[in-house]
Amino acid sequence: MILAGSAHAETISSQTLMHTPPLDTVPLSVDTFGRVAHEKSGAIAYSWPLVTFSSHFTGSEIWIDIDDSKGRLNVYIDGNIATTLSHPGASRIHIKDVPENPRGGDEHSVSLTRFNETQDSVSRLIAIYAHGASSGPPSMSPSKSIEFIGDSYTVGYGNTSSKRSCTAEELDATTDTGKSFAVLTADAIWAKVQVNAYSGRGIVRNYNGFAGDTLPDLYPYALFDGKTEYHDPTWQPQVIVIALGTNDFSTPLHAGEKWKTEAELIADYEATYVNFVKSLRTKNPDASVLLISYDPATTPQITTVRDRLRAAGETRVDVLEITGFTKNACDHHPDTDDDRKISQTLIAYFDAHPELWPDLRQGK
C-alpha cells in the first residue's frame, strides 16, 4: 500500500485491519454518494468510480477501516487532501494530529472519494471511527444534478499520462476520474454528479469484440457482481449524458461474432440503444438525455437513435458531436487537455440550453 503524505499537519499511519474498534471511539454515521450497497455487517460495498463517503467528527484523530485491494482514494479533512490511499487492501488507516478546522475548533469533516477504475471487483468501507461524532455545520448542496454514462473516455482512462504506451501499473497510476471531463463539467456548472462508466464496454459490442457484459448489462447493478441491484430513489438527475459507441465500432468484426455484417451490428446497436434510453426514462421521468458522439463515423447511428426516440414520443433527447482530440494519454486515449476540451463543449451546450434545469428556471 502507498500512503501519500499530507500537505497539512496530519500524521498518517496504517496497520492490518482489526476486528475491534480503536479504544474509546465511536463509529461515525457515513453518508454516501454514488453507487453503493449497504451490507448487514454495516460495511458499505462499492465498485463504480467516483463513489464518495463523508462524515463529521470531533477531536484530532480518526481511524478508517477499509478493504480495497485495487482502489485509489483521496481522503479529505475539512476539504483538504490529507492522504491518498493506493490499493490499501484490508487496512486500518489512522490519521492523527488533525489541526483546528478553518473556523477554529475541533469539529471536522472527513470524506473519501474513489477516483480510479477497478473492474470486476467489490471493495468495502468497513467503518470510520473517532473519539466523538459531530453533525457538522450546515452545508450548501448544488441544485443541479447530472449523470454521465460511458466507457473509458468517461472514466478518465490513463488521462493524466504524458505518453501513449503505458504498463498496467502506469495505467492504474494515471487514471483519474476526478480529472475527467465529467467531473470538470459538473464542477463548472456546480452540479452533483454520478459517473457510471466502465472501460472497454459498448452498447452491444465490447472493444475488439471481447466477451463480457456490455454497459447496458452492467448498468442496473450497484456492484460488479451481476446480482446486487442499484436502488436509490433520491438520485433523480436532471440531465443524463451518455457517451457510448466507440467500442462498438472502433474495430472490425471478427469471425464468430454474432453479427455477420456491419449493417447487422448497426441495427442491433441502434435498437438496443433506443431501449436503453427508454429504460432510463422509466426510472428518470424528468431527466433530459444528451447522446455524445466522439466520431463523425458514429454520429449517423447516434442521430438515428435520437430520431427513433423522438418518433416514439421522446421530447427531451439530443445529440452532440465532440471531436478533434489529441489522444496523447495511455493507449491513445484523451488526456487532460482533451478532457478540458470536451468539458468546455458541454458547458457551452448547457449554457445555450437553460431549459435543461427546469427547477432553477422556476425558482424552486
Same domain, 47 and 181: no
Number of domains in the chain: 2
CATH number of the domain where residue 21 is located:
2.60.120.260
Which is catalytic among the residues 123, 152, 180, 343?
A: 152
Full-prediction pTM beyond 0.85?
A: yes
Q: Hey, what's the torsion of the CAs at 157, 159, 160, 161, to 10 degrees?
A: 80
Report the pLDDT value the prediction gives residue 358, as an integer from 0 to 100: 78
Q: Is residue 138 a part of any domain in this protein? A: no
> How many CB atoms lie under 10 A from the CB of residue 333?
24
Report the pLDDT value the prediction gives residue 48, as an integer from 0 to 100: 96
Domain that holds residue 341: 144-361
Report the pLDDT value the prediction gives residue 359, as an integer from 0 to 100: 63
Q: Hey, what's the torsion of the CAs at 306, 312, 314, 319, to 10 degrees?
A: 0
Same domain, 103 and 222: no
Q: Catalytic: 152? A: yes
Report the pLDDT value the prediction gives residue 364, as an integer from 0 to 100: 39
Q: Is residue 150 a part of any domain in this protein? A: yes
Would you give per-residue pLDDT tens digits along the chain (364 residues)? 545 554 456 899 989 998 899 999 999 999 999 999 999 999 999 999 999 999 999 999 999 999 999 999 999 999 999 999 999 999 999 999 999 888 878 899 999 999 999 988 899 999 999 999 988 776 678 899 999 999 999 999 999 999 999 999 999 999 999 999 999 999 999 999 999 999 999 999 999 999 999 999 999 999 999 999 999 999 999 999 999 999 999 999 999 999 999 999 999 999 999 999 999 999 999 999 999 999 999 999 999 999 999 999 999 999 999 999 999 999 999 999 999 999 999 999 999 999 999 765 444 3
Q: Which of 106, 133, 160 is the last residue of a domain?
A: 133
CATH number of the domain where residue 243 is located:
3.40.50.1110
> How many CB atoms lie under 10 A from the CB of residue 296?
9
